[in-house]
Amino acid sequence: FSIAFLFAVVGISIIGVLSFSPSSAQAGPQLVRLTLQGPQDLLRNQTASVDKSRGTVTYYVTSQSNHTAVVLYDSRNGYVCYKPEEQHECYLRRMDTWDLQALQTSLNVSEQRADQLLRHNNQTEYYREFLGIVAGEEVDPRSLGEAVQSLCEQTSIFWARRGVGPGKQRLIYLCIDICFPSNICVSICFYYLPE
């Protein structure tokens, strides 16, 4: 009986050690919390969820008016997806070279790197990016991959594309400010393209 008990204890111990090994712990999402000082000294709260196994980084950005927007970078399928909390729509565009570089930096981020970003925030560069929403071009979510499907479940998805600006006749109706671990912050502003 004591030999069987000893084997049972050793077996349970080995299973416990294997289940809590670092490789299995790193397989799931890793959370990195950032609180950044933005331009005009506005406090910007941002959390990044990094999932290396899926090749995704999801940013949760809370504005001064306490609205949260979600920005998903999906390297596996090549999309950037935006979901503002107050909207019942998602906006999607294809990734480009700059997005892939920002994503790679974010996938390699750690808590220590986030703290360094806070300390060196005076070196941060700020940009404004304009995305025009293509009216009437709703996207079929089944072709977009699991990450975008789960983010935009029960909402409409529309294509968006970069532009030089909305033009004087177009009003900007929504902006999302997002900061990357590379000391670059981007204010992403949306407007509707003419039909």
62: number of Cβ within 10 Å: 16
pLDDT confidence of 69, banded at 50, 70, 90?
very high
Confidence category of residue 95, pLDDT binned at 50, 70, 90 = very high
Residue 109 pLDDT > 70: no
* Residue 112 CB contacts under 8 Å (≥ 6 apart), including other chains: none
Query: Would you call 175 helix, strand, or coil by DSSP?
Result: strand
Query: What are the domain boundaries of the chain?
Result: 31-122+136-159
Q: What is the pLDDT of residues 74-83, one digit of tens each?
A: 999 999 999 9
CA 96, 59, 150, 141 torsion: positive or negative? negative
Encode pLDDT of 115-169 as tens digits.
445 445 567 788 899 999 887 778 888 889 999 999 999 899 999 998 877 777 6
Sort strands 56-62 and 68-74 into parallel, antiparallel or unpaired.
antiparallel
pTM: 0.76
